[in-house]
Every structure is written in C-alpha cells, then in structure tokens.
Structure 1
Amino acid sequence: MSLKTLGAKIFAAIIHGRTQKWANNPVAIQQKVFAQLLAKAKDTQFGIDHGFEGIATYEQFSAKVPVRDYEGLKSYIDRVVHGEENILWPGKPLYFAKTSGTTSGAKYIPLTKESMPYHVEAARNAILAYIHETGKAGFVDGKMIFLQGSPELDEKYGIQFGRLSGIVAHYVPAYLQKNRMPSWETNMIDDWETKVDAIVGETYHEDMQVISGIPSWVQMYFEKLHQKEGKKVGDIFKNFNLFIYGGVNYEPYRAKFENLIGRKVDSIELFPASEGFFAYQDSQKEKGMLLLLNAGIFYEFIKADDFFTESPRRYTIGKVELGVNYVLIISTNAGLWAYNIGDTVQFTSLAPYRVIVSGRIKHYISAFGEHVIGKEVESAMNEAMQGTKVSINEFTVAPQINPVSGLPYHEWFIEFEKEPADMDAFALGIDAAMRKQNVYYDDLIVGNVLRTVVITKVDKNGFQDYMKSIGKLGGQNKLPRLSNDRKIADALQQTIQ
C-alpha cells in the first residue's frame, strides 16, 4: 500500500466522522445555517429590502421572502454582474457561472469566497465516502479523467466569468494534479467533438482508473476509444473500476456502458449545480444521495403537485416525507434567496436525509392532466429493458396531441444501440410500467383518452446532432428527458430517415 493510498484511507475516516456529526443533527444544523446566512447578509441591499434585521424565525423569513426563480431575482443579479457590491451578498462574488437560460438567455449564477470551497469539498468527500465504505483506495495512485467544460475565464468589473466545471478545474488539489487528465491545453478546446478526439489521443495509453462526467458525453468518449483501439474500454484501461457522474440518471445508460466497458464498475452519483453542490452518493448499498445540510445552503421544499397553486406551503427539513415529489428551494452563501433551481427531488431516507433527483418542474408532460415526471419515464424505460438485451443511447418523450389518425399518445423518441426483437411488445412494456407508476396516466388509457405508447426510432447520433444544432453539445449540457410540447420532438422528426 502506497503512502498516498494509506493517507486517503485515514483522511476518509476523518471526513466520515465529521459527516456523521452533522448528518445526525439535521434540524439543528439547518437552523444554524439559516441564522448564519441571515446575519451575514442583513446589510446587503437584498437584506435591507426584505427586512433581514427583523427576521428571527423561519416563519418570518417565508412571509417576507417569496420564492423566486432566476427571472424573479434577475434585477438584483444584473446589478452584481455590473460590478455593484453588497447587493445579494457582502462584497462582490469571485465568479459568475454562466449557464444556459430560457426566457432570459444566458444566466449568471454568483459564486463567492464562502460558497466556492463547498463545491470542491463535496466532490472530494464523495470519493472519500466511497473509500471509507469500500476500503478501495488504490485508484488514487492511478490516472483520473474529468470530462468538463473549458477552464478559460473572462473578467469584467473585477469578477471572473466561466462555466462551473471550468471554474472548478482551477481548484483541483495539488495532490491530484499529476494524476488528473486531460491536459490543460486539451481542456481549453471549446469544440466538444475536437476536444473528445484530443482526450482519446492523450489517454488511450494511460492507466485510467477513475472516469468522471455526464453519462451521455462519457459514452461518446468510450465509443471513440473503441473506434481507435477496437477493444472494450475495460481492456484498454484494465484498472478502470470507478465511474463518477452527475446531471442525469445513469440507469438508462448502464447496460450500454457495461457493454462498452466489458464489465461492471462501481459508480458514484453527484448532484452539483452552479447554484450549489447539493448531494452526493455516500453509500454503495443505500438508494439516494446524502443531502448536504452543512454546506452553506438552507433548504426549503414545495410539493410539486402544489407548486403552481396560489400560495403553496413551504417545508423545511424535518417536515418532509418519503416518496413525495418536491421542488427544491435554496438560500445560499452565494446570495441566492428562496431560489427555485428548477429541480425536483424525492427523499429515499430520512435518517440520514437522502434524495434522488426526480426531474425538472418545467420538464413534465401534462397535456391531458397526467402529470408525468422525469423519474417515471426513466423508471418505465428501465423496467421495460429488464431481462432483455435491449440497450439505448438516449431517449426523450413528448405528447402527440393531434395525430393524423386515432387517439392522442405519448411519443417516445429512442436511439437504440440494440433494438428489441419485438418493438410493439417493448412499447407495451413501457406503457405497462408507466400505468403502474402514474394513476392519472392509467386512467387516461383506461378511459380511451390516450392510446398506448408509440416509439419513434432516432437514427444513430441523432440526439448528438440535435444538441449540436442548438449549440449544446458536450460539457454540462443535458437533453431534457421529457417535454410538454413538441419543440424537441419536431426537430428530431425532421432528421429521421
């Protein structure tokens, strides 16, 4: 055992002990975070506007600070972007993470000297939790690759701007620098396809042991490795045994990955975002990710079913229930207040608090009142694939409200790696799984309002071509798993031969 491996195991045990202390006192820890945030920001413009000085309880906070999304907070953020100080948080932020917006175009999410360390520590602690639980630490002596955005940053008004993954690249600890790949020069390449080709050229002969990135883009890397070497990824990288991912559910990709790799490997799921690092998988045995309650973020939760009502109830930790779909609301030490990040979560454990990401509050299908969410379509796909040799590269779902003939339906656009022997039976399997999960959908099928699922096959690389056409190929960009309109569906339909 190397000194580095031994040191990793010792450090993992120390971090595990610290984690248990706050995880076992969730309500008290969140109250402490809440008080610290208010005290720190009471003299900011936002704090003055919302009477932070007079807020002593959560009830007062929820009465004075409404839930906002980016558009709702934009007037404050714009002032910070233009160099004003003490607006949302004392001073100026260190960075703005630039993300893709919707109605407002690009979004600029502040990262402060208080918030930035938590992004780095959470990723580190996820790996340390894995080491502590499994005892596997030898990979710290091998090569690691992180598929991420360019670390190139711009500066304006004394604040640096860039992609979150690129910003975080500047914080890789010294003890990992020698092991980390790709090179800085390759990481700076903007064009994703060119970048992946360069990464393949740099890594195919190395002892890669840890690979990290969004599954769809790691899949592209694996496919290019296979094209170059004509071997399974596991034969190219004989010591590769840990995949770290975030952003999307891995399960729909798992069969394809295991085929590309040639064997099963352990995986760690992360829940990072520009707005904060919210959770990571702390156990290979338990479902869900540990919600980080001691990381400068105060959490609120709104039941997704109630979110669009006039005055939905806001819940704090300690008041949540298992299995309920909640919209995640955050207040942070980067100056976001009662902020709706758009993600929905469900709790899988209350001791400690673990969550899964169930979807996006704006990504759903309810064209007929069915309230279908991302988790349901992913679970249905996984269930239909069980016991078959079917594997897929990507999929998305949209309603077809005005079919040429017959009843409306949900249309599943799927890029298959290996197609089912009986496509109709596979579609019925998806439909049956959907009906088990969602009573509203079942009622619509039974009542002959909808017909069963229709599958439309997408050509090889069809989803990659679509993402490229909208300027979102690679990096942290993700394809929505489902939509309540036909925008993506119609674009895909035009490419299908």
Structure 2
Amino acid sequence: MSLKAFAAKIFAKYIHYKNQKWINSPVETQQKVFKALIEGAKNTQFGKDHNFEKIESFSDFAKRVPVRDYEELKPYIERVVKGEENILWPEKPAYFAKTSGTTSGAKYIPITKDSMPHHIEAARNAILNYIYETGNADFVDGKMIFLQGSPVLDEKNGIKLGRLSGIVAHYVPGYLQKNRLPSWETNKIEDWETKVDAIVEETLPENMTVISGIPSWVQMYFERIQQKTSKKVGDVFKNFNLFIYGGVNFEPYRAKFEALIGRKVDSIELFPASEGFFAYQDSQREKGMLLLLNSGIFYEFIKADDFNSEAAKRLTIKEVELHVNYVMIISTNAGLWSYNVGDTIQFTSLKPYRVIVSGRIKHFISAFGEHVIAKEVEQSMREAIQAFGASINEFTVAPQINPENNELPYHEWFIEFEEKPSDMEGFAKKIDETLQQQNSYYFDLIQGKVLQQLKITSLDSGAFTNFMKSKGKLGGQNKIQRLANDRKIADALEEFIKR
C-alpha cells in the first residue's frame, strides 16, 4: 500500500467518525441549520420582506415564507444578477451556476462563499466514506476522470458564472490535481463529441482507476474506447474499479455498462444540483443515499400527491415516513428560501435518513389519473431487462391518448435497444405487469379496460444522442427526460423510429 493510500484510509476514518455526530442527531442538526439560516439572512432584503426577525420556529417560517419555484423567486434573483448586494443572502454570490430553464431560458442559481465549501466536501466525503466502508484505497494512486462541463467561466456584474461542474473544477484539491483527467485544455472543448474523442486519446495510455459522470455520457466515452481498441473497457483499464455517477438512475444502464466494461465494478451514487449537494451513497450494502443534514440546507417535504392542494402540509425531517413520494423543498445559505428544486424523493431509511430520487414533480404520466413516476418506469425496465437479457441505451415514455383504429389508449415506450429481447411481446408484458404491481392506479386502469397494455416503439441506434444534438443539449449535465405527460419528446423522436 502506498503512503497516499494509507493516508487516505486514516483521513476516511476521521471523516466517518466526525460525521456520526450529526448523523446521530438529525433533528437537532436541522434545527441548528434552520436557526443559522434565519439569523444569517435577517438583514437581507428577503429577510426584511418576510420578517425574519420575528421568526422563532418553523411554524413561523412556514406562515411567512411560501414555497416558490425559480419563476416565483426570480424577481429577487434578477436583482442579484444585476449586481445588488444583500438581497437573498449577505453580500453578493461568489458564482452563478447557469442552467437551462424550461420556461424562462437561462436560470441563474446563486452559489455563495458559505455554500460552495459544502459542494466540495460532499463529493470528497462520498469517496472517503467508500474507502472507510470497503477498505479499498489503492485507486487514489491511479488516474481519475470526471466528465464535466467547461471550466471556463464568464462574468456578469462582477459575479462569475458557468455550469456547476465547471465551477467545481476550480476547487479540485491539490493532492488530486496530478491524478485528475482530462487536462484543462481538453475540458475547455465545448463540442461534446470532439471533447469525448480528445478524452479518449488522453486517457487510453493512463492507469484509470476512477471514472465519474452522468451514465449516458460515460457510456458514449466507453463506446468510443471500445471502437478504437476493440477491447472491453475493463481490459483497457485493468485497475478501473470505481464508477461515480449522479443525475439519473443507473439501473437501466447497468447491464450495458457491465457488458462494455467486461465485469462488475463498484459504484457510488451522488445527488448534486446547482442548488446544493443533497446526498451521497454511504453504503455499498444498503439502498439509498445519505441525506446531508448539516450542509447549510434546511429541508422541507410535501407529499407529492398533495402538492397542488392549498392544504398541503409542509413537513420537517422528523415527520417523514418511509416509501412516501415527497417533493423536496430547500432553504440554503446560498439564499434560496422554501425553494422547490423539482425533485421528488422517497426515504428508504430513517436511521440514518437515506433517500432515493423518485423523479421530478413535473415529470410524470397522469393522462388518465395514473400518476406514474420515474422510479416506477425505471424499476419496471430493470426487471424486464433482467428477465429477458436485453440491453438498452436509453428510453422515454409518453401517453398515447388518441390511437388509431378506435384502440384503447396506452403508454408508448420509446426504447433504443443495444440488444433486443428474444421475445419482444413478453418483454412488454413484463414491463406492464411490473408497473401494475407498483402503481395501483395504473393497475385499475388496465384491469378496467380504460388503458391497454403498453406498446414499445424501437428507435434507431444513436437516436437519443442525435435527438439531444438536435436540441443543442449533447453532453455536459444534460440528460434525457424519462417520462412526460405530453408527446412533445415523443413527436420529436418520430424521425428516429426503426423502420
């Protein structure tokens, strides 16, 4: 064992025991975070507008501060973007994480000098936690690749802005700089396909031990390696044993990844966003990711089924239940207040608090009252893949409300297969039955002959890559929307249907 690996183990043990204090006192930890946030922002414009000086409890806060999404918080954010100070949080933000908005163009998410360290610590601690649990530390001696956006930052009214992954690239600790790939110059390449080819050239001669990124884009990287070398990725990188990912559910990709790599590797799931780093996988044995309760974020939860009701109750961490679909609401030391991130989560454990991402509150299918969510379609796909030995590159689901020939309506699954199942009809039936088992509303609609069994539409190889390219969203942190309650994506995919 190298000195670096030995030191990593010692540091991992220290961080593990340090974290136990807040892990074992979750309610008290969140209360401290809440008080610090209110005290920190009471003299800001937002704090004055919402009488923070009179807030003594969460009940007071909930009465004064409504739940908002980006559009509703935008009047305050626009003042920050113009360069005004002390609007949402003291002084100006250190950065804006610029993301693509769905309704208003670009979104500018503030990152402050108080919030930035938590993004870095969470990513670091996820790896250290893995070292502590498994004892595996030799990978720190090899090269690590992080597929991310360009680190080149723009500036707006004295505040630097760019993609979150590009901002974070400026904070890679010194002890990892020599291990880190791709090079700065390669990372600056904007065109994703050109960038992936450059990354392949840089990494092929290296001892790659850790690879990180959104699964769909890492898959493209792996495929390019296989095309260039005619070898499995695991044979090219013999010491590659850890994959770190976030942004989407990995399960639909797992079989494809194992085929590309040629073996199984350990993985760590992360739950990062421009608004905050919320959770990371803290166990290779237990399901879910550890919710980070001491990272300058105060959490609220609203049951997804009640979210659009005026009587919807806002819950704190001590009030949540297992396996309920919640919309996650955050208040942060970056100046987001009762902010709807858009993600839905479910708790898989309450000691400690672990979560899975179940979908997006706006991404569901309920054209007939079924309210099918991403977690359910991903689980159904995973079980069908396991049962029939198929392999897929990507998929999305949409309702077909007005089928031809007086057929019953159905859910249409657009799938780009790497390897088709031998029995496509059985594959579709397996997905449908698994979905019925998970969702009682969908079960009732199928059994009541309101809907017919789902139908699969096969897409050409490379369909989703070409679709994303056509939208100018190839690579980076962009990802395919797994399901929608309309047919905008479905209609755009028509030209990629396998004939």
Q: Give the TM-score of the pair, scaled to structure 1.
A: 1.00
**Alignment match, 1:399:** 399
Percentage identity across paired residues of the two chains = 74
Kindly report which structure 2 residues correspond to 1:401-480, keeping only aligned pairs within 5 A, or say none.
401-405=401-405, 406-480=407-481
**Alignment match, 1:46:** 46
Residue 400 of structure 2 contacts residue 410 of structure 2 at CA under 8 Å; is this kept in 1? yes
Alpha-carbon offset, residue 17 of structure 1: 0.4
**Alignment match, 1:248:** 248
Instruction: State how far apart, in whole Å, the 2-side matches of 1:101 and 1:18 are.
Output: 38
Alpha-carbon offset, residue 30 of structure 1: 0.1
Instruction: State how far apart, in whole Å, the 2-side matches of 1:426 and 1:238 are.
Output: 34
SS of 2:243's equivalent in the other structure is: strand
Instruction: State how far apart, in whole Å, the 1-side matches of 2:432 and 2:13 are.
Output: 46
- What RMSD, in angstroms, separates the aligned Cα atoms of the two structures? 0.6
SS of 2:43's equivalent in the other structure is: coil
In the alignment, structure 1 residue 2 sits paired with structure 2 residue 2: yes
Instruction: State how far apart, in whole Å, the 2-side matches of 1:488 and 1:64 are.
Output: 39
For 1:197-236, what per-residue CA distance to the aligned partner results, in whole angstroms no more than 9, with x for missing partners? 0000100111000000000000000000000000000000
Kindly report which structure 2 residues correspond to 1:65-104, keeping only aligned pairs within 5 A, or say none.
65-104=65-104
**Alignment match, 1:31:** 31
Quick one: which amino acid aligns to residue 409 of structure 1? Y
Instruction: State how far apart, in whole Å, the 1-side matches of 2:318 and 2:23 are.
Output: 12
SS of 2:319's equivalent in the other structure is: coil
Instruction: State how far apart, in whole Å, the 2-side matches of 1:333 and 1:146 are.
Output: 26
Instruction: State how far apart, in whole Å, the 1-side matches of 2:39 and 2:430 are.
Output: 54
Instruction: State how far apart, in whole Å, the 2-side matches of 1:389 and 1:327 are.
Output: 34
Alpha-carbon offset, residue 389 of structure 1: 1.8
Quick one: which amino acid aligns to residue 133 of structure 1? E
Instruction: State how far apart, in whole Å, the 2-side matches of 1:437 and 1:386 are.
Output: 17
Instruction: State how far apart, in whole Å, the 2-side matches of 1:69 and 1:318 are.
Output: 24
Residue 388 of structure 2 contacts residue 427 of structure 2 at CA under 8 Å; is this kept in 1? no
Aligned residue pairs: how many?
497
Residue 388 of structure 2 contacts residue 422 of structure 2 at CA under 8 Å; is this kept in 1? no
Instruction: State how far apart, in whole Å, the 1-side matches of 2:62 and 2:479 are.
Output: 32
Instruction: State how far apart, in whole Å, the 1-side matches of 2:64 and 2:494 are.
Output: 47
Quick one: which amino acid aligns to residue 61 of structure 1? F
Instruction: State how far apart, in whole Å, the 2-side matches of 1:397 and 1:491 are.
Output: 13
Residue 93 of structure 2 contacts residue 112 of structure 2 at CA under 8 Å; is this kept in 1? yes
Kindly report which structure 2 residues correspond to 1:215-234, keeping only aligned pairs within 5 A, or say none.
215-234=215-234
Quick one: which amino acid aligns to residue 38 of structure 1? I
Alpha-carbon offset, residue 495 of structure 1: 2.4
For 1:21-63, what per-residue CA distance to the aligned partner results, in whole angstroms no more than 9, with x for missing partners? 1000000000000000000000000000000000000000001
Task: Give unpaired runs (5+ residues) of structure 1.
Answer: none
Alpha-carbon offset, residue 413 of structure 1: 0.3
Quick one: which amino acid aligns to residue 146 of structure 1? F
Task: Give unpaired runs (5+ residues) of structure 2.
Answer: none
Instruction: State how far apart, in whole Å, the 2-side matches of 1:138 and 1:425 are.
Output: 44
In the alignment, structure 1 residue 149 sits paired with structure 2 residue 146: no
Alpha-carbon offset, residue 19 of structure 1: 1.1
Q: Give the TM-score of the pair, scaled to structure 2.
A: 0.99
**Alignment match, 1:117:** 117
Alpha-carbon offset, residue 387 of structure 1: 3.3
Residue 397 of structure 2 contacts residue 482 of structure 2 at CA under 8 Å; is this kept in 1? yes
SS of 1:84's equivalent in the other structure is: coil
Runs of 4+ with >6 A deviation? none
**Alignment match, 2:377:** 377
Instruction: State how far apart, in whole Å, the 1-side matches of 2:469 and 2:43 are.
Output: 45
Alpha-carbon offset, residue 186 of structure 1: 0.2
**Alignment match, 1:200:** 200
Residue 76 of structure 2 contacts residue 87 of structure 2 at CA under 8 Å; is this kept in 1? yes
Alpha-carbon offset, residue 494 of structure 1: 2.3
Instruction: State how far apart, in whole Å, the 1-side matches of 2:431 and 2:291 are.
Output: 31
**Alignment match, 1:262:** 262
**Alignment match, 2:327:** 327
For 1:227-283, what per-residue CA distance to the aligned partner results, in whole angstroms no more than 9, with x for missing partners? 000000000000000000000000000000000000000000000000000000001
Alpha-carbon offset, residue 158 of structure 1: 1.1
Instruction: State how far apart, in whole Å, the 2-side matches of 1:325 and 1:364 are.
Output: 12
In the alignment, structure 1 residue 495 sits paired with structure 2 residue 496: yes
SS of 2:341's equivalent in the other structure is: strand
Quick one: which amino acid aligns to residue 456 of structure 1? T
Kindly report which structure 2 residues correspond to 1:280-359, keeping only aligned pairs within 5 A, or say none.
280-359=280-359
Instruction: State how far apart, in whole Å, the 1-side matches of 2:387 and 2:457 are.
Output: 22
Quick one: which amino acid aligns to residue 448 of structure 2? G
Quick one: which amino acid aligns to residue 35 of structure 2? A
Instruction: State how far apart, in whole Å, the 2-side matches of 1:409 and 1:289 are.
Output: 34
